[in-house]
Amino acid sequence: MDLPRVFTIRESGHRIHNPLTDDQLATLGRALRLPPAARVLDLASGSGELLCTWARDHGVTGTGVDISTLFTAAARARAAELGVADRVEFVHGDAAGYVAAEPVDLAACLGATWIGGGVAGTVELLRRSLRPGGTLLVGEPYWRRPPPDQETVAACHAATEDDFLPLPELIEGFGELGYDVVEMVLANHDGWDRYRAAQWLSVRRWLDRHPDDELAAELRAELTTAPARYARYEREHLGWGVFALLAR
């Protein structure tokens, strides 16, 4: 049970596996005003930056669950580096269907709503781990600008335009699920640039070290087209945000 190797190659240099910057992740942690020693569950926790830095900065405790052995190991190393290994734990496993043994103050899934079959299913999955009055945190793409054609849709990693919503409709959708949006942090162009460009550098360095690997031709072709494709389509059309939700 693991992520495909091509994905971990792309993001082997990332600490945050979405287009939030370090500053934005810190802003989100401050904005939520979590109580002392708040218990956090982070599904699809990646390399653990949310839990580790919030444990250091805000005193949270919690658990991260991720299917990647590489990212889980990186998260544990990050916890040790920041001196919070006694406050957070990282579990290698499938986050789909994972429910905390005890209710948590905050349940999060940033950028991996496929674990619940979409936004609605992921919100319901997170709710099952949440104490009454607790906060849900969901990270999700949205259309910054309507895609003009199917080529743009595909370049933004969607099958159809309906896979993502414009920002107002995404926020309204949380309301239809019975939640108030009480905070949000939206990725900007700089965050997207850092996220995507870091992938290109990781791929290039991997190619230099592994020219004869079975994935080399696929990743060489990807690197040849990815920067211009991103600049032409994704940078202007695709947004991404994290939304804090409280049940009505």
Pair of tokens at residue 216: 């080399």
Is residue 156 within 8 A of residue 149, CB to CB? The reply is no
The answer to pTM > 0.85 is yes
20-75, pLDDT tens digit by residue? Answer: 999 999 999 999 999 889 999 999 999 999 999 999 999 999 999 999 999 999 99
132-158, pLDDT tens digit by residue? Answer: 999 999 999 999 999 999 999 999 999
Q: What is the pLDDT of residue 81?
A: 98
Domains with residue ranges and CATH for the chain: 5-247 (3.40.50.150)
Dihedral sign from CA coordinates of 123, 121, 5, 187: negative
How do strand 88-92 and strand 61-66 relate by DSSP bridges? parallel
d(CA 49, CA 58): 13
